[in-house]
Structure 1
Amino acid sequence: MSSITVASEADQAVGRFGGYGGRYVPESLIPACQAVADAFAQAWADPGFRGSLARLLSVYAGRPTPLTPALRLSAELGVTVLLKREDLTHTGSHKINNVMGQAMLARRMGRTRLIAETGAGMHGVATATAGALLGLPVKVFMGERDVERQAHNVFRMRLLGAEVVPVATGSRTLKDATSAAMRDWVADADEAYYCVGSVIGPHPYPTMVREFQRVIGDEARRQCATELPAAVPDYVVACVGGGSNAAGTFAGFVDTDAKLVGVEAEGGSGAANGEIGVLHGFQSLFLQDEHGQIREAHSIAAGLDYPGVGPEHAYLRDLGRARYVTVADAEAIAAAVRLARTEGIPPAIESAHALAWVIDAAGTSVLPSGSTVLVTLSGRGDKDLTTLMTEAEL
């Protein structure tokens, strides 16, 4: 298997992961997508660009993030749990890795403003942060429901100078925010750069976002080599909405014997329960009704409130290289509380889904006692305190 992905280089060049991916956009957006693809290919082959990005992620975003042994939780579960701490980056989530890369690319392309969609608000915050740092105006589209439940992050975006546009259509969540952002991009593709927040969208975004996020998996691979006798963990686990933190984490281990597990929200399980369809410019697995219409997703975690999954995840599922499972809202809340009380680390509710699966599976044939498990903490729990105050039984 390739150290980058199990998809062939030829497939990657046209944005395909087996039968998934592609570029399903209006003709007016084809040149814009191709411009991004060409610019990314040139930038990623340029040691100067990659060196500048690596330095920015180091001195500004706080990389590398540590690999923290969850000692008390491990003792309780009978498995060794290692936490990849993306919650400790500047802005508080893995989103900054991708956004800094795309914002630098936008400036390299001569684009004058950034567009973004956001669900939990962390991608919006990261984009607003990059815009402030690089002097680029930012417009963030966010579903009205998410604006209400993530008011803390809405204020952070506005504090950083971004314009936040509430989206009142459809389910008023991430799916509708993404649609609105794409419409805005269509109207101003020559000047605006659409900074996609996950491994979704038309080619080259799924591949490009994965490559910007693979810093998570590459770091974790090196860190595990010094922490573990076997050099790699038995299991690598991450939450999946669109799937960028999982894609970045899996990229570091896809060529090993580690078992890859993506954990979705029970009400947003595109990989586990979806069918082939097209949305937001790419073909993948989506929740659909009997007529093939996209069904609304639901999750207590706004960042997992998406009806589909990135095309590479769909491909990894079909190959059997990664397993995708679901966790209910209540299980995620309980896991967030448990990590806070055992390790002093309140995670984002998105990340708590990954933890919940580990907690439930530990000691069973699915996750045997004595196993080593790497869990990516994609974000910190500050943004979810209002939800936890309402939902957690303390």
Structure 2
Amino acid sequence: MSSYLKSTPNAEGYFGEYGGAMLPPVLEPHFKEIAEAYAKISNSAEYIRDLRYVRKHFQGRPTPVSYLRNLSDMSGGAQIYAKREDLNHTGAHKLNHCMAEALLAKHMGKTKLMAETGAGQHGVALATAAAYFGMECEIHMGEIDIAKEAPNVTRMKLLGAEVVPVGFGGRSLKEAVDSAFQSYVPQADTALFAIGSVVGPHPFPMMVRDFQHIVGIEAREQFLEMTGNLPDIVAACVGGGSNAMGIFAGFIEDEDVALYGVEPLGTSSKLGDHAATITYGEDGDIHGFRTMLLKDENGEPAPVHTVASGLDYPGVGPEHAHLYRTGKANYVAADDKEALNAFYALSRHEGIIPALESAHAVAFAMREAKNHPGKSILINLSGRGDKDIDYVTETYGFGDES
């Protein structure tokens, strides 16, 4: 598709200085097997045919691009558009890589899918994929997130997944990853650890980006068809960063398109009050790969906070760290208050209830529009807010009625 995507990462899984696979010896052969299997089938006509069938006839792709006229008028300046991944089956972009990972697992002869989840969207998507392909499913989820995202927990269980509550440490996404890895080690012969973002040891940052690239491919073609031009700005929320890499990949060779990742600033810039890794972090290692990381006084991954459970991670995908260091993408932050305001605004004025994660990208567009008159902003609306409505209304009410 493009020279950047074909040459990055390198054979060892490094995006410049970031990435790689730092694994305990017991897991090295299993990740090598995954990398070899992906290299073999990613160019297989049979695999591509099966994946295209699933995307069209099960997921409901392509998802549309919507012009947000009312939000654009309210914000003033740039015209705002949204790639509607909230209309992908299960309500978020996560199914794009989950169905592909499950199909890979089937080709490898695996019988079980395992993963971590934060907001529950990856867990729901993987449980959906397991049901579709007739596989077992085990999902690890922090107790804090289980309480916040109860509807998604119910969905996972209805889909037949075993949901494992994680009660140690911060009881959130980082601990869910730790717990899932521990459980995976003795099951690695029969299970695939289907990592839920562009994070983890090689080949997952590359694979998940490739599987999510469909978002960028569709969005680029759709925007050109709608407007005759490419967008001036493409923006997406970034926790681990899979939805952002998906849409960025469609525009990464276009020099006139500015890419913006929007991190969660939480309640303040104080360590522990946010999860804005690139904004405030430094180089470090987490979960088997090198990236940028929020660290505590001991150099360990720091506690993080954001209103959006799916962004609640002290690290970031290694490719995002690389894009930041090389200047290919820009990274900014939106705080909890801005995200909540955007959540209410999109709901009330466009008839779209966004996920709290996606609301960070909406907040960026609303904030930046006035600075770019005559320009266009395309955001990746990575998920819908069904999972968040109980938490938001019980905690914050229904927003400003005026």
Q: TM-score range by the shorter chain?
A: over 0.9
2:236 partner letter = A
1:170-216 CA-partner distances (Å, limit 9, x unpaired) = 10001000111111111211111101100000000000000000000
In structure 1, the residue corresponding to 2:236 is in which secondary structure?
A: strand
1:231-273 CA-partner distances (Å, limit 9, x unpaired) = x100000000100000010000000020000001011111221
Closer/same/farther in 2, CA of residues 51 and 6 from structure 1, 3 Å limit: closer
1:180 partner letter = S
2:233 partner letter = Y
For the Cα contact (< 8 Å) 2:5–2:249, is it kept in 1?
A: no
Task: Give 1:7 shift.
Answer: 7.8
Aligned partner (choices 70, 73, 82) of residue 72 of structure 1:
70
1:38 partner letter = E
Task: Give 1:167 shift.
Answer: 0.3
- Residue equivalent to 1:270: 277
1:185 partner letter = Y
For the Cα contact (< 8 Å) 2:79–2:369, is it kept in 1?
A: no
- Residue equivalent to 1:244: 242
Is 2:293 the partner of 1:286? yes
1:387 partner letter = Y
- Residue equivalent to 1:184: 183
Is 2:86 the partner of 1:87? yes
- Residue equivalent to 1:323: 330
In structure 2, the residue corresponding to 1:140 is in which secondary structure?
A: strand
Give the Cα–Cα distance (whole angstroms) in 1 for the partners of residues 44 and 20 of structure 2: 25
Aligned partner (choices 236, 252, 255) of residue 254 of structure 1:
252
Give the Cα–Cα distance (whole angstroms) in 2 for the partners of residues 360 and 87 of structure 1: 22
In structure 2, the residue corresponding to 1:196 is in which secondary structure?
A: coil
Give the Cα–Cα distance (whole angstroms) in 1 for the partners of residues 191 and 198 of structure 2: 20
Is 2:396 the partner of 1:391? yes
Give the Cα–Cα distance (whole angstroms) in 2 for the partners of residues 199 and 31 of structure 1: 21
Give the Cα–Cα distance (whole angstroms) in 1 for the partners of residues 120 and 298 of structure 2: 32
Give the Cα–Cα distance (whole angstroms) in 1 for the partners of residues 296 and 163 of structure 2: 31
Task: Give 1:228 shift.
Answer: 2.0
- Residue equivalent to 1:18: 16
In structure 2, the residue corresponding to 1:292 is in which secondary structure?
A: coil
- Residue equivalent to 2:268: none
1:324 partner letter = Y
For the Cα contact (< 8 Å) 1:117–1:141, is it kept in 2?
A: yes
- Residue equivalent to 2:221: 222
Aligned partner (choices 332, 340, 346) of residue 353 of structure 2:
346
1:150 partner letter = E
In structure 2, the residue corresponding to 1:5 is in which secondary structure?
A: helix
Give the Cα–Cα distance (whole angstroms) in 2 for the partners of residues 224 and 362 of structure 1: 18
Give the Cα–Cα distance (whole angstroms) in 1 for the partners of residues 68 and 211 of structure 2: 27
Give the Cα–Cα distance (whole angstroms) in 1 for the partners of residues 5 and 205 of structure 2: 14
1:383 partner letter = K
1:146 partner letter = D
Give the Cα–Cα distance (whole angstroms) in 1 for the partners of residues 378 and 258 of structure 2: 10
Give the Cα–Cα distance (whole angstroms) in 1 for the partners of residues 43 and 31 of structure 2: 18
Give the Cα–Cα distance (whole angstroms) in 2 for the partners of residues 143 and 336 of structure 1: 24
In structure 1, the residue corresponding to 2:164 is in which secondary structure?
A: strand
Is 2:36 the partner of 1:29? no
- Residue equivalent to 1:371: 375
For the Cα contact (< 8 Å) 1:5–1:251, is it kept in 2?
A: no
For the Cα contact (< 8 Å) 1:12–1:207, is it kept in 2?
A: no
For the Cα contact (< 8 Å) 1:274–1:286, is it kept in 2?
A: yes
User: Moved runs in structure 1, 4+ residues, more than 4 A?
Assistant: none
1:280-315 CA-partner distances (Å, limit 9, x unpaired) = 111000101233111011111000000110000000
- Residue equivalent to 1:138: 137
Closer/same/farther in 2, CA of residues 4 and 43 from structure 1, 3 Å limit: farther
Work out the percentage of aligned pairs sharing the same amino acid.
47
In structure 2, the residue corresponding to 1:27 is in which secondary structure?
A: coil
In structure 2, the residue corresponding to 1:28 is in which secondary structure?
A: coil
Is 2:117 the partner of 1:156? no
Q: Give the CA RMSD over aligned residues.
A: 1.2
- Residue equivalent to 1:380: 384
Give the Cα–Cα distance (whole angstroms) in 1 for the partners of residues 192 and 102 of structure 2: 8
Unaligned runs of 5+ in 2: 266-273
2:78 partner letter = V
Give the Cα–Cα distance (whole angstroms) in 2 for the partners of residues 116 and 355 of structure 1: 28
Closer/same/farther in 2, CA of residues 6 and 55 from structure 1, 3 Å limit: closer
For the Cα contact (< 8 Å) 2:369–2:377, is it kept in 1?
A: no
Task: Give 1:387 shift.
Answer: 2.1
Further displaced range: 342-351 or 76-85? 76-85
| Count of matched residue pairs | 388
1:270 partner letter = T
Give the Cα–Cα distance (whole angstroms) in 2 for the partners of residues 7 and 315 of structure 1: 15
Is 2:60 the partner of 1:55? no
Task: Give 1:348 shift.
Answer: 0.3
Task: Give 1:229 shift.
Answer: 2.9
1:286 partner letter = L
1:46-93 CA-partner distances (Å, limit 9, x unpaired) = 011011101101100000000010011112222111110000011000
TM-score by length of 2: 0.95
1:145-166 CA-partner distances (Å, limit 9, x unpaired) = 0011111100000000000000
